[in-house]
Structure formats: C-alpha cells, structure tokens
Chain A
C-alpha cells in the first residue's frame, strides 16, 4: 500500500519567517495530495490540496508544490503568524471519480511560530 513520509516532525520559526514541510510518497499511481491542519485539541481541517496534473497551487500565504517524478510534495507557508501554530499532516490517495478515496497520512509536523 501507499506509504507517506513527512519531515520534519517539529519545526519552530519566528513570526514573519517562512515554513516548509516536505512529504514523499511511494505509490506512483497516487494522484491527490491534500494538507490538513490540526490545532491543539481540535479536528483536522483541509487547508489546501493539489492533483497530480498541477505542479503548484497557491492560496494566499499557503502554497503546495508537487514533483511527480521524485514523488514528493511540499507545503510552503509565508509570513507566518502565531495562529499558524498547529500540527500539519500531508496525505496521498489514488482518487478517481467513483473509486479509491482512502487517504494515507504522514505522521505530522508540529509547527510553532514564535512571536
């Protein structure tokens, strides 16, 4: 089955700096790569996702890049703010219309933004 590796496990940055979290996946057939944010004591929530036919996607201060050849994808957060502090999970699946919805998650990255 799919295996998703996520690094680093913890990341501490100063407010205003950028943060980058990297993930690799093993199944070359995977084609959908979402990122979830989980604040302390809360449920995970989707913040951005990308499909394999796109190399980069941006949403305000958040961007995700995908390298299909190398089978890795990354989350980039610019101008970090204290409210960005949370655990971030990457995930991968072989999603196609009508089948294959299982998401395999990475082990998470605890991001701390210091004021």
Chain B
C-alpha cells in the first residue's frame, strides 16, 4: 500500500495564480483532511470530508476549495494564491470505525507564493 500520496511536493506560484494540490489514499478511509503547517502555529485544519460528496470547513478555510467525488481522492484548490498561503500542506486520512483512530499523513507539499 502506498498510504497517502500528495503531489506536487514543491510548488512556486505567483500572487493571483491558481493551482490544485492532489491527495490520494489507498486505505479505503472515509475521513480525509487538509492541514497547513506554519512555523510556531502547529497544524491547522483547512477542510475535511467524511465521505464522497461530503465536505466541511475547518479552522482556516478561506481561500481554499475542496471536493470529494471518490473515496480515494481529496484535492485542495487555491483559487487565487496569496503570499499568506505560503506554507507546508499535509493531507491526512483516517478510518471512521471505532472510537480511536490514527491519522495517516502524506509527505507534505511545500508551497511558496511570491
């Protein structure tokens, strides 16, 4: 199993450009999420999904869109990139079974907005 796969690993954008960060998991996890990691700020939840066709906002959703058309894929779209979106982005997935559950992270995508 590949686990959680994110692409691209690195990206440089100019202010105003749009792009999509791809995330795919092969563990049949219902729950998928996107976090951003900034120095001194920890991991902040952007958007999450509990199944195909269901998405919801996290702590810092502004400037980002998501969709969940399949169980496996959960892309994150930046509509008009801003320097404040310079960050490391992590996609993560988890099973919804039971009352505990490990969150499996992708390797991260480092985005720089100039």
Closest to B43 in A: A105
Chain B residues, CB < 8 A from A104: 45, 59
Interface size of B as a range: 20 to 34
Closest to A52 in B: B99
- State the interface size on chain A (CB cutoff 8 A): 28
Closest to B103 in A: A103
Is B74's beta carbon under 8 Å from chain A? no
User: What CA separation (Å) do A75 and B110 show in the bound complex?
Assistant: 29
Are B40 and A1 touching (Cβ within 8 A)? Answer: no
Closest to B56 in A: A102
Known: A101-B48, A108-B42. A44 touches B98 (CB 8 A): no
Q: Which of B18-26, B78-86, B89-97 contacts A (4 or more CB under 8 A)?
A: B89-97
Chain A residues, CB < 8 A from B100: 32, 34, 49, 51, 95
Mask for B40-60, Cβ within 8 A of A = 1, else 0? 111111001010000000110
Q: Which of B43, B44, B59 contacts A44 (CB 8 A)?
A: B43
Q: Which of B43, B45, B48 contacts A89 (CB 8 A)?
A: B43
Known: A43-B106, A44-B43. A95 touches B48 (CB 8 A): no
User: What CA separation (Å) do A62 and B107 show in the bound complex?
Assistant: 25
Are A106 and B42 touching (Cβ within 8 A)? Answer: yes
- Nearest chain B CB to A24 CB, angstrom units: 14
Is A115's beta carbon under 8 Å from chain B? no
Q: Which of B42, B99, B106, B108 contacts A105 (CB 8 A)?
A: B42
User: What CA separation (Å) do A107 and B40 show in the bound complex?
Assistant: 6
Known: A32-B100, A101-B48, A101-B96. A44 touches B58 (CB 8 A): no
- Nearest chain A CB to B11 CB, angstrom units: 17
Q: List 6 A-B contacts (CB under 8 A).
A: A43-B107, A45-B105, A51-B99, A97-B97, A101-B101, A108-B40
Q: Closest 10 interchain pairs by CB?
A: A107-B42, A43-B105, A105-B43, A46-B102, A105-B42, A101-B31, A108-B42, A44-B105, A43-B107, A97-B99
9 other contacts beyond A106-B42, A107-B40, A107-B41, with CB at 8 A cut-off? A32-B100, A34-B102, A43-B107, A44-B43, A44-B90, A45-B105, A101-B94, A105-B43, A105-B44
